[in-house]
Structure 1
Amino acid sequence: MTKKPVTTRSGRFFKLAGMTASVAGQFASQKARSFFSSENDEGARSESYSRMAARITDTLGEMKGAAMKVGQIASQTQDFLPREFSDALQKLQKEAPPMPFEVIRQQIETALGKPVHELYEYLQEAPYAAASIGQVHRARMHDGTDVIVKVQYPGVDESCDSDLKQLRLALRLGGLLKMPKESVDQLFAEIRERLHEELDYDNEARNLDVFREFHRNDRWVVIPAVVRSHSTRHVMTLELEEGDHVGDITPERYDQDTINLIGHRIFTAMADQLFRFQCIHGDPHAGNFAYRPDGTIVMYDFGCVKKLKPEIVLAYRNAVTAALEQDYKALDQYLIDLGARVESQPAIDEAYYAMWRDILVVPFESEQPYDFGQARLHKDVAAKTSTVFKYLDSFKPPVESIFIDRMIAGHYWMLKRLGVQAAFGNELRAYLAEFR
């Protein structure tokens, strides 16, 4: 039986509060068992973490909204949650189950002030896509223009701050946040700011205009135009720009040369935004991109956009350059500049930096094409995550650049799923040399 969606602020609060109580109880039980046990049972702790992770993931997936979005972000990093949680939260990256159409219809009519039949020639009941804070439906304007209508789920905007507080409380009471309180404060403040922007579709409409202007000379980048007359803070109508999802890229329509061309264009768009525009598309998962057989890339969803400080981009550039040149003393200082290294702690062993450098720069070292389809960077990184604990007090989440890391990780997975074969080393070094 389909569960009735939780759309009220009080309903969301009690749902999340129940999750928090459950997680806290499981953590207390696990601590009690370990106290009375004569040995540290790693297996029991992992099993307890897995149960807590399953409860949190199920609740966030059902709740949608800000809490689900944080879960998606958390699934992409091992920095502040145990591995069992990052693994479980991967489920939230998949397309969310849709909200009933009657809820969506009411949301549209409330936001735009007219019945749906007056607003559109037709509006498809089946969703075109469903995500964490809203879903999309195909429609047609009365003038014949094909559009998509992006509709925010009711209640998620008003409940954003309350959701975040409850989720943070659940993670804290579950003993899951592996960082100092100051870092937690900074991290959640950054996420809160980005979420408030993402929940404001008027803001996203402005972002779309800005990115369309930035990419105006890149004919291979397509960004949908906003239909302003049918857009508000909670509903946005966009001209329909279709393409093939990454799962629909087949050899019959996309040969390897076209896939490689798309890969180079993905890299160029990412590097242009980072180094030249200094403003990045901060939600680069597969559902926000589509492709066409002529090599065109269609970009969707500009709700999560991060305007970067020039000094952060410079520090990022310097850190990457130092890593490529194996100048680990310089790298240590640039990571401090970036806010990733605790300045009061001693310098890091150069062998530690060398280990990570040798894993992460593999796609950029050779002039021969790197086969992203066969890439195992993520596995190599996962195999070394246990070494982080040795330097846990020396590093902290780089709040100002966390969305750069998220962008790069998202693009890595797109290149891998596409099966791109390309050498990006010379292109990367050209951007690094240009930005000084």
Structure 2
Amino acid sequence: MRERGRTRRLMGLGARTGGAMLKTRLGGQADWRALGEALFEGLSELKGPAMKMAQMMSQWDDLLPPDLAEELSRLQRQAEPMPWPRIREALVLQYGELDAHFSEIEERPFASASMGQVHKAVTLEGETVVLKVQYPGLADVLESDLAQVRRIMRLGRWFKVPQARLDAMFEELAAGLRDELDYQAEARALARYRERYADEPRLVIPEPLMALCGPHVLAMRFVDGTPLRELESADDATRQQLAQTLADWITQELFTFGELHADPHAGNFAADAQGRLVIYDFGAVIPVPAARLDAMMKLLEATLARDPMAMDDAMVQMGGRQGQGAPLSLYREAADSIAPLFEPGEQDFSDVRVHRQLRELSPKVWAAMDRLQPPADTLLLSRALNGHYWNLVRLKARLDMHERVQPLLA
């Protein structure tokens, strides 16, 4: 009965979204603020894959209508927590008698997300830990939720996205969400990353407590920190130190280890008292094959050279363009917007002129969707890179991207 109720609510939200998109496509004016409020309220309560997809969409705030993006972004920081009795059920299922393991568990979570929420606890030995608890029953409704998400994604056909491409994008999204339900895999990822960066003094990665970890609960030593989204008003030196660390870490992940942290919303990052970058969540780590990275760098090289024909060749090789006729004028405009970010010297990521130019490109990209398509196997990679970019924007980063990227192009 509960599953049927979820399905009806998701179908209703999907219908409302489709109505707004259709109205816009027909030349009308949709109330994106009202739609965003409805999606926030419904998805915040339902949790699960649909909320995760909306969180991902909110990071594409250069593509979405501003009012809709603003409302959806609340899902990253204001999502309603699941009531404690339901969370306690999941903990009892994992541990049995809670008093046998913990002297205290805070009933109020200090973080709530789409697939679980985090509670602070104290072990019998007096150590403060955090428990990331998967929402009860989520695994049971995952596939039915994904079916509704697939129906919502089919609205992309109105924007000239072929069905085969939508199906491939859905499969990549679904695989990522299924992986996120495996908390034991995340515990192993935490251990792997702690070993990988044991000698990096600027990074802090919490230690998983394997004896307390299970399929639906992840236990870690508590690491205090100020969330990244609260650091916009921090002193400049702290923000620049964190931005440098974040950029260096992403570069090393991609070009040394062939992986990327793929859940970059601001709540997963913090700064500790020493100004080190704390990375809390490793539920989504994706491999980045060398061939894919090479293709992306060829596209970047062509973009920086402002060579639209080379940009088109790179897009075709990546599987990002189909149909007849290369949109050369769009390539030129994109290059003119992006290339200045990579000129010699420090570039200010808080420069609103850059964001305005990219936002103005968005409707032109959508209009060219019969020829331009995001490669199906790069959905999560593109979303992750975009999210990391906006984290650098939040930190008001000043980075010399020319100096950073030239050795990689070589």
Q: Normalised by the size of structure 2, how large is the TM-score?
A: 0.90
- Residue 43 (1) aligns with residue 28 (2): yes
- Show CA shifts across 1:93-140 (max 9, x none): 33311111111111111123x222212121111112111111001112
Q: Match for 2:163 among 175, 181, 184? A: 181
Show the 5 A alignment for 1:31-430.
Answer: 42-44=27-29, 46-47=30-31, 54-77=37-60, 86=69, 88-112=71-95, 114-172=96-154, 178-249=160-231, 255-342=235-322, 344-349=323-328, 351-367=329-345, 369-430=346-407
Is the CA contact 1:271–1:431 (under 8 Å) kept in the aligned structure 2? no
AA aligned to 1:345 is Q
Is the CA contact 2:122–2:128 (under 8 Å) kept in the aligned structure 1? yes
Q: Normalised by the size of structure 1, how large is the TM-score?
A: 0.85
- Show CA shifts across 1:199-230 (max 9, x none): 11011112212222332331211111111111
Is the CA contact 1:223–1:298 (under 8 Å) kept in the aligned structure 2? yes
Q: Cα–Cα, structure 1 residues 123 and 384, in superposed 2: closer, same or farther, change >3 Å?
A: same
Q: Cα–Cα, structure 1 residues 170 and 361, in superposed 2: closer, same or farther, change >3 Å?
A: same
Q: Cα–Cα, structure 1 residues 55 and 247, in superposed 2: closer, same or farther, change >3 Å?
A: closer
AA aligned to 1:258 is T
Q: Cα–Cα, structure 1 residues 23 and 390, in superposed 2: closer, same or farther, change >3 Å?
A: closer
AA aligned to 1:392 is M
Is the CA contact 2:62–2:359 (under 8 Å) kept in the aligned structure 1? no
Q: Cα–Cα, structure 1 residues 156 and 246, in superposed 2: closer, same or farther, change >3 Å?
A: same
Query: Structure 2: how far apart are the matches of 1:177 and 1:203?
Result: 37
- Show CA shifts across 1:309-328 (max 9, x none): 22111111221122122233
* CA-CA distance at 1:362 after TM superposition: 2.6
Q: Cα–Cα, structure 1 residues 122 and 390, in superposed 2: closer, same or farther, change >3 Å?
A: closer
Residue 4 (structure 2) aligns with: 10
Is the CA contact 1:20–1:173 (under 8 Å) kept in the aligned structure 2? no
* CA-CA distance at 1:346 after TM superposition: 2.6
Is the CA contact 2:62–2:362 (under 8 Å) kept in the aligned structure 1? no
| 2:219 alignment partner, SS class | strand
Q: Cα–Cα, structure 1 residues 76 and 178, in superposed 2: closer, same or farther, change >3 Å?
A: farther
Size of the aligned set, in residue pairs, is: 410
Query: Structure 1: how far apart are the matches of 2:164 and 2:110?
Result: 41
* CA-CA distance at 1:247 after TM superposition: 4.3
Structure 1: gaps of 5 or more residues: 1-5, 35-39
Query: Structure 2: how far apart are the matches of 1:417 and 1:173?
Result: 31
AA aligned to 2:327 is I
| 2:79 alignment partner, SS class | coil
Q: Which moved more, 1:169-178 or 1:183-192?
A: 169-178
Structure 2: gaps of 5 or more residues: none
Query: Structure 2: how far apart are the matches of 1:157 and 1:377?
Result: 41
* CA-CA distance at 1:384 after TM superposition: 2.1
AA aligned to 2:109 is P
Is the CA contact 1:261–1:295 (under 8 Å) kept in the aligned structure 2? yes
Is the CA contact 2:89–2:136 (under 8 Å) kept in the aligned structure 1? no
Q: Cα–Cα, structure 1 residues 428 and 83, in superposed 2: closer, same or farther, change >3 Å?
A: same
Is the CA contact 1:66–1:156 (under 8 Å) kept in the aligned structure 2? no
Is the CA contact 1:80–1:178 (under 8 Å) kept in the aligned structure 2? no
AA aligned to 1:111 is Q
Is the CA contact 2:84–2:107 (under 8 Å) kept in the aligned structure 1? yes
- Show CA shifts across 1:1-33 (max 9, x none): xxxxx9x43332233234345566x579x77xx
Extract structure 1 runs of 4+ deviating beyond 4 A: 20-24, 49-54, 78-88, 173-178
Is the CA contact 1:27–1:175 (under 8 Å) kept in the aligned structure 2? no
Is the CA contact 2:173–2:379 (under 8 Å) kept in the aligned structure 1? no
* CA-CA distance at 1:409 after TM superposition: 1.9
AA aligned to 1:307 is P
Q: Which moved more, 1:397-406 or 1:144-153?
A: 397-406
AA aligned to 1:394 is R
